[in-house]
């Protein structure tokens, strides 16, 4: 049986070549913030968010901007869940309101709703599945729409006078940033 051993200096050369190849194939992409933001629902909000990221105005890499935006959505969803729990507690004598907010809690939850979808979006980003990022971020919007407008177009929309529809709309505008970034990540 023959054994082949590389000399240490030759092994070091191979390791260095591998690391250089890996670094060049995973190099970060930088796109101007204004280019991204002009494709979103609210370019001004997008610009404020992405430029508030340290290094964002100078062209932070797309992965970093996507992670930052996902973290903002995660925080906003967590705050919205707190609002929904408060609305449930305050709607004790109104069974229609209570049922609506309990349904919304499911649609915003980590287990079955938007918070779980944004966490999955982050996982897909880290795996480099940029098409999956778009799909999962779209699910965040769908979950919120199910709360605000109902799952069935035939169902009457709950006349919600709370801040919940405003919160959902604001989150949707931030998610629109996440929907644009993968377009640039998928470009080779």
Separation in Å, CA 51 to CA 32, 55, 125, 171, 179: 10, 8, 20, 18, 17
Q: Give the CB-side neighbour count of residue 174, counting CA atoms within 13 A.
A: 24
Averaged pLDDT for residues 62-68: 95
pLDDT in tens, 107-133: 999 999 999 999 999 999 999 999 999
The region of weakest confidence among 15-29, 42-56, 174-188 is 15-29
Q: Which residues, including other chains, have CB under 8 Å from residue 136's CB and lie 6 or more apart?
A: 117, 118, 120, 121, 124
- Per-residue model confidence (pLDDT) at position 188: 63
**Do 183 and 89 touch, CB atoms closer than 8 A?**
no
Task: Determine the angle formed by the axes of helices 114-127 and 130-149, rounding to 10 degrees.
Answer: 170
pLDDT band for position 97 (50/70/90)?
very high
Q: Half-sphere exposure of residue 75, counting CA atoms within 13 Å on the CB side?
A: 7
Confidence at residue 179, expressed as pLDDT on a 0 to 100 scale: 98
Tokens of 166: 């405003």
Choice among 4-18, 22-36, 57-71, 142-156 with the minimum mean pLDDT: 4-18
In this predicted structure, what is the pLDDT of residue 75?
A: 98
For residue 147, give the nearest of 109, 95, 91 by alpha carbon. Answer: 109
- Cα of 31 vs its chain's centroid, Å: 18
Following DSSP, what letter does each residue of 11-24 receive, concatenated?
Answer: HHHHHHHHHHHHHH
Residue 94's pLDDT band (cuts 50, 70, 90): very high
Task: Return the structure tokens found at 153.
Answer: 């177009």
- Enter the pTM of the model: 0.83
Give the tens place of pLDDT for each residue, 38-51: 999 999 999 999 99
pLDDT > 50? residue 68: yes
């Amino acid at each position: 049986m023959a054994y082949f051993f590389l000399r240490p200096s030759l092994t070091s050369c191979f390791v260095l070549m591998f690391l250089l190849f890996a670094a060049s194939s995973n190099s970060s992409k930088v796109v101007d913030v204004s280019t991204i933001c002009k494709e979103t629902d609210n370019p001004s909000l997008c610009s404020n968010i992405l430029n508030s990221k340290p290094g964002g105005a100078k062209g932070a890499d797309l992965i970093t901007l996507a992670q930052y935006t996902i973290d903002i959505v995660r925080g906003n969803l967590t705050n919205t869940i707190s609002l929904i729990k408060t609305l449930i507690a305050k709607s004790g004598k109104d069974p229609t309101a209570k049922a609506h907010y309990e349904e919304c809690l499911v649609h915003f939850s980590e287990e079955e709703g938007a918070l779980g979808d944004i966490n999955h979006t982050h996982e897909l980003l880290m795996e480099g599945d940029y098409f999956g990022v778009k799909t999962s971020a779209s699910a965040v919007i769908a979950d919120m729409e199910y709360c605000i407008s109902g799952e069935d177009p035939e169902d009457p929309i709950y006349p919600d006078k709370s801040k919940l529809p405003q919160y959902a709309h604001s989150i949707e505008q931030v998610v629109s940033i996440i929907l644009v970034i993968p377009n640039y990540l998928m470009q080779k």
